[in-house]
């Protein structure tokens, strides 16, 4: 089960009030949305979006969703397209937006789409069929392009070596499974790589997932469209797990504050307490930034 990250802090900054309309743009299993729903009930509304259609289908079968049918709407889609989605659903602008970026433990464990380097699964690593699977990405990219992606999005210093190994195998046969890709990466790195602190495939998998799903582009797009999604005085809360994502959020919030569009509520990003990190190690790299629209 996916444990919601920085739950108390999300509620504090999103500040959902009874009767409000709140969007959870990355609803997943509804870890945050469930609490938001409690806060806006009985007259408010939660609009939950996830790019992963299978998660939305699953969520619609949950008893807490069925029990609040008139207060929650669930749609599968890309949060970057929120202005169009709201229009299509005949919904106005919202009082709050939550984005909890990346993927979830549920997707690693149960999606069968190759997010885990420990499982032998088809090499998709994508949230939606709208994005080209990683198996295709690594086939189509040139070695130099692949190395640049692994370096930039994964911070992997052995990116050239890893990209070379992937392309060498890829020339002979199609790489179609996550375990196969992980083994190629592991074989191309030294035995005691990083003192075995992390699996040698960790950073390359992260980079390929971010690239294949256009994660940085989607984030930039939604940040540029906040006034089309949110009312004046609405709150936006974004949790990121990657330094490049956090830098994009920081830069856009500063730009929007200078333009008089919003006021930043978190001078520095909020991080998980030691207590939360012990309970949920995934929260270690989480950074929360929040702002209020003017
Ligand atoms: C970290 S999880 C969210 C967890 C959720 N807050 C909870 O506590 O249950 C991130 C979710 O965002 C979804 N996602 C990633 N990119 C997306 C996008 N561009 N649009 C909509 N959903 C996206 C993923 O499918 C995943 O379910």
Residue 184 lies in a domain: yes
**Residue 13: is its pLDDT beyond 90?**
yes
- Give nearest CA residue, ligand 1 atom 27: 28
Residue 30 CB less than 6 A away from ligand 1: yes
Cβ of 49 less than 6 Å from ligand 1: yes
pLDDT given for residue 41 in this prediction: 95
Residue 146: the pLDDT is 98
Same domain, 206 and 237: no
Nearest-atom index, ligand 1, CA of 99: 6
Q: Is residue 154 in a domain? A: yes
Q: How far is the CA of 4 from the centre of ligand 1 (A)?
A: 11
Q: Compute the distance from residue 79 Cα to the ligand 1 centre, in Å.
A: 9
| pLDDT single digits (tens) 91-142 | 999 999 999 999 999 999 999 999 999 999 999 999 999 999 999 999 999 9
Supply the pLDDT for residue 119.
95
* Residue 68 predicted with pLDDT over 80: yes
Please check whether residue 182 lies inside any domain of the structure.
Answer: yes
Query: Of 190, 212, 234, which residue constitutes the final position of a domain?
Result: 212
Burial class of residue 67, CB neighbours in 10 A (0-12, 13-18, 19+): exposed
Judge whether 146 lies within some domain. yes
Is 111 a member of any domain?
no
- Structural domain span for residue 162: 132-212
Q: Which of 223, 231, 232 is nearest to 254 (CA)?
A: 223
Looking at residue 196, its pLDDT comes to 83
Domain presence at residue 88: yes
Q: Are residues 197 and 223 in the same domain?
A: no
State whether the beta carbon of 206 lies less than 6 angstroms from ligand 1.
no
Ligand 1 atom, smallest distance to 128 CA:
25
Arithmetic mean of pLDDT over the chain = 97
Looking at the 3D structure of the chain, how many domains does it have? Answer: 2
Q: How far is the CA of 88 from the centre of ligand 1 (A)?
A: 21
Give percent of the chain above pLDDT 90. Answer: 97
Task: Please check whether residues 55 and 101 belong to one and the same domain.
Answer: yes
Instruction: Check whether residue 240 and residue 94 sit in a common domain.
Output: yes
Please report the pLDDT score of residue 261 as a whole number.
98
- 19-40 average pLDDT score: 98
Model confidence at 22, pLDDT cuts 50, 70, 90, reads very high
Q: What is the pLDDT of residue 270?
A: 98
Q: What is the mean pLDDT of the segment spanning 223-235?
A: 98
With a cut of 90, say whether residue 194 has pLDDT above it.
Answer: no
The residue whose C-alpha atom lies closest to atom 19 belonging to ligand 1 is: 78
Res. 1: pLDDT tops 80: no
């Amino acid at each position: 089960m996916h444990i919601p990250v920085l739950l108390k802090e999300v509620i504090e900054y999103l500040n959902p009030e009874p009767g409000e309309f709140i969007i959870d743009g990355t609803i997943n299993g509804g870890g945050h949305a469930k609490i938001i729903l409690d806060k806006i009930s009985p007259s408010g509304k939660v609009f939950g979006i996830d790019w992963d259609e299978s998660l939305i289908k699953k969520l619609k079968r949950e008893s807490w969703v069925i029990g609040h049918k008139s207060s929650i709407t669930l749609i599968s889609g890309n949060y970057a397209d929120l202005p169009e989605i709201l229009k299509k659903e005949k919904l106005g602008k919202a009082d709050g937006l939550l984005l909890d970026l990346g993927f979830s433990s549920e997707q690693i464990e149960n999606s069968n789409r190759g997010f885990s380097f420990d499982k032998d699964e088809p090499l998709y690593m994508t949230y939606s069929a709208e994005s080209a699977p990683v198996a295709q990405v690594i086939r189509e990219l040139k070695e130099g392009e692949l190395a640049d992606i692994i370096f930039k999005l994964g911070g992997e210093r052995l990116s050239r070596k890893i990209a070379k190994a992937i392309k060498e195998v890829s020339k002979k046969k199609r790489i179609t499974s996550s375990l196969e890709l992980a083994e190629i990466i592991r074989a191309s790195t030294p035995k005691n790589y990083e003192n075995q602190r992390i699996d040698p495939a960790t950073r390359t998998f992260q980079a390929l997932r971010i690239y294949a799903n256009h994660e940085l582009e989607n984030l930039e797009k939604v940040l540029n469209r906040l006034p089309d999604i949110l009312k004046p005085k609405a709150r936006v809360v974004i949790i990121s797990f990657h330094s490049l994502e956090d830098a994009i959020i920081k830069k856009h919030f500063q730009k929007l504050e200078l333009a008089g569009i919003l006021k930043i509520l978190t001078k520095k990003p909020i991080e998980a307490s030691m207590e939360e990190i012990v309970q949920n190690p995934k929260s270690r790299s989480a950074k929360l930034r929040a702002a209020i629209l003017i």
